[in-house]
Amino acid sequence: MVELPLIARARAHEERIAIHADGRSYCYADLLRRSETIAAVLLDGRADLREERVAFMAPPGFDYAALQWGIWRAGGIAVPLSTQVTARELDHVLGDSDIKLILTTPAYASKLDPGPRRLLVIEEGTRAECSLPDIAATRRAMILYTSGTTSKPKGVVSTHANLQAQIEALVNAWEWSAEDRIPLFLPLHHIHGIINVLGCALWSGAMIEAFPRFDAELILPRVKADAYTLFMAVPTIYAKLVDLLGDGASDLAAAFGRMRLMVSGSAALPAGLHRRWHDLTGQHLLERYGMTETGMILSNPLQGERRPGAVGQPLPGVEVRLRSESGETLHGEHEPGEIQVRGPAVFSEYWQLPEITAASFEDGWFHTGDMGVMEDGYYRILGRLSVDIIKSGGYKLSALEIEAALLDHPAIRECAVVGLEDATWGETVAVAAVPEASAPPLVLTELQHWAKDRLSPYKLPRHLMLVEQLPRNAMGKVAKREVATLFTDGPCA
Ligand code: MLC
Ligand code: AMP
């Protein structure tokens, strides 16, 4: 039988605790048994799901891992759903990936309106067994929806081989072992949580302590008790922790300092925050850079200098090049170019978007849309090519998607969404809107309230400015950089 390496490896750690959540501990044997049950229920007499897409919703924890493994072991493609998704966003994901079945747990069943699809709630006591199909590494394993330069999020399809390469690169570079213990509080519809935390930990036989969200009151006492050897978070979380730690030395700061490794990524870690964290805790954060389509690409070293403001060198198995605007490969230092990536970790396609997929690659090199430069042997990220991508709290947001949603508001005739720099969130969402003449004056809180059925909470605008017209360039296109400057001088609603 051809078993996924992730599953085969778990058999070597059956008695070890895999996941601790809600006051309960689950060992690797529990995860193997539960995922086998889920696979058998999914198969329901069939031999193989043959890459049928199965959506699932569960908070970080044992159920999430069991559902993910169950779908994989039955031969399906796992489509994880955000627990904060709105009905409209859900409609897009389920329709786009042609989902017929949604899996969830009793606690989440009432949050989901499956429409014409089947909603299967896996109850705790369910038991089922059957022979499971062979799963070749070349099969497609997962679709993650990513916002970008199109108004609707695109499905990023990764094979089992892609995911394995993404995990192995990190396990090797950061020396994961079965002795590691890590808190998991990041959302599990994005790779930071799915691959860097859940995937690497379960691959290594390590222990995860899961929390439904980043809840400092629950997590910090565990940090103080030396419950973890590793910690992985987005810069916003480190900014919030710096505020919580205050100025002086403390037991908590010392406990952070004792961890084997603390990693930051998903957005730029300001050099000042890196230094401040070191001053407070004695811990040099390891900053790395990655993307849903590729897994992690660049990383500061585990051993050696972790340079503030830089993202290090390519991870094992990942090839990186910088390309100039005219398409030349840049070999020198201090020459900025687009970061392009090649290797076994790079995704296979955007789901049912062959043209966009083809346009994103050149001779096997994936175009990240991020600009970088090499300085004294370390890559540094300079920013994105597109002004329509916003990174807030580590979430990638599409200005176009937010604009499309806001344009449905009866008081908005036109609008432009931009990201404004923010010390805690990296960027925050700001909207400049041309109001409908006949409509009552629009205020931010009312707009947020109206939009919350359409957009996930982290996509909601945080600033609003009403303008008579949007700044445009000679071609008539909205000049986004000028829109951003409106907020730096003008009053916001
Ligand atoms: C929430 N708020 C925001 C906001 N999000 N304000 C501005 N900008 C935002 N983005 C507001 C809320 O409305 C609320 O306001 C208040 O801030 C607190 O919200 P919260 O939800 O309680 O915040 P918190 O739970 O602390 O969440 C912050 C966070 C979370 C950073 C923990 O955003 C998070 O988990 N981010 C990680 C996302 C992630 O995993 N990205 C990886 C993508 S993969 P009020 O008024 O209601 O109190 C990737 C590849 C790679 O990028 O390289 O890893
Ligand atoms: P996502 O598409 O959600 O996977 O987000 C990937 C994007 O996050 C990248 O293309 C970068 O723009 C950004 N990103 C990730 N890590 C870093 C980092 N360390 N520094 C700057 N940007 C980052």
Map out the domains of the chain as residue ranges: 389-489
| Neighbour-count burial of 416, counting CB atoms closer than 10 A to its CB (0-12 exposed, 13-18 middle, 19+ buried) | buried
Give me ligand 2 centre to Cα 394, in Å.
8
Nearest ligand for residue 194 CA: 1
214 in ligand 1 pocket by Cβ < 6 Å?
yes
Nearest ligand for residue 156 CA: 2
**pLDDT of res. 208:** 98
Pocket probe for ligand 1: among 185, 237, 289, 395, the residue whose CB has the most ligand atoms within 8 Å is 395
pTM of the model: 0.96
Question: How many angstroms separate the CA atoms of 296 and 160, rounded?
Answer: 16
435 in ligand 1 pocket by Cβ < 6 Å?
no
Q: State the sign of the Cα–Cα–Cα–Cα dihedral 158, 162, 164, 166.
A: negative
**pLDDT of res. 92:** 95
Which atom in ligand 2 lies closest to the alpha carbon of residue 292?
A: 4
Give me ligand 1 centre to Cα 454, in Å.
17
Residue 329 neighbours by CB under 8 Å, 6+ apart: 321, 322, 323
- CATH level 3 topology of 389-489: GMP Synthetase; Chain A, domain 3 (3.30.300)
**pLDDT of res. 96:** 97
**pLDDT of res. 432:** 98
Residue 170 phi/psi, 5° resolution?
Answer: -75, -40
Give me ligand 2 centre to Cα 287, in Å.
11
Cα-based distances in Å from 408 to 405, 414, 445, 450, 473: 6, 10, 17, 10, 25
CA atoms within 13 A on the CB side of 37: 16
Q: Whose CA is nearest to atom 8 of ligand 2?
A: 266
For the chain, the 3-state helix, strand and coil shares in percent, each to the nearest 5, are: 30, 30, 40
393 in ligand 1 pocket by Cβ < 6 Å?
yes
**Tens-digit pLDDT profile for residues 95-138:** 999 999 999 998 899 888 888 999 999 888 778 788 999 999 99
Nearest ligand for residue 370 CA: 2
Give me ligand 2 centre to Cα 64, in Å.
24
Question: How many angstroms separate the CA atoms of 349 and 143, rounded?
Answer: 10
| Contact call for residues 162 and 348 (beta carbons, < 8 A) | yes
Give me ligand 2 centre to Cα 365, in Å.
18
Q: What is the DSSP string of 54-68?
A: EEEE--TTHHHHHHH
Residues in the chain: 493
Give me ligand 1 centre to Cα 275, in Å.
23
Q: What is the DSSP string of 226-288?
A: T--SEEEE-HHHHHHHHHHH-SS--HHHHHHHHSSEEEE-SS---HHHHHHHHHHHS---EEE
Q: What are the mean pLDDT values of the chain's consecutive 10-residue runs (493 residues total)? A: 93 97 96 96 96 97 97 98 95 96 92 90 82 96 91 95 98 98 98 98 98 97 98 98 88 97 98 97 98 98 98 98 96 96 98 97 97 98 95 97 96 97 97 93 96 97 97 93 88 53
- CB neighbours (10 Å) of residue 367? 16
Residue 74 phi/psi, 5° resolution?
Answer: -85, -5
Question: How many angstroms separate the CA atoms of 118 and 100, rounded?
Answer: 6
Residue 451 phi/psi, 5° resolution?
Answer: -80, -15
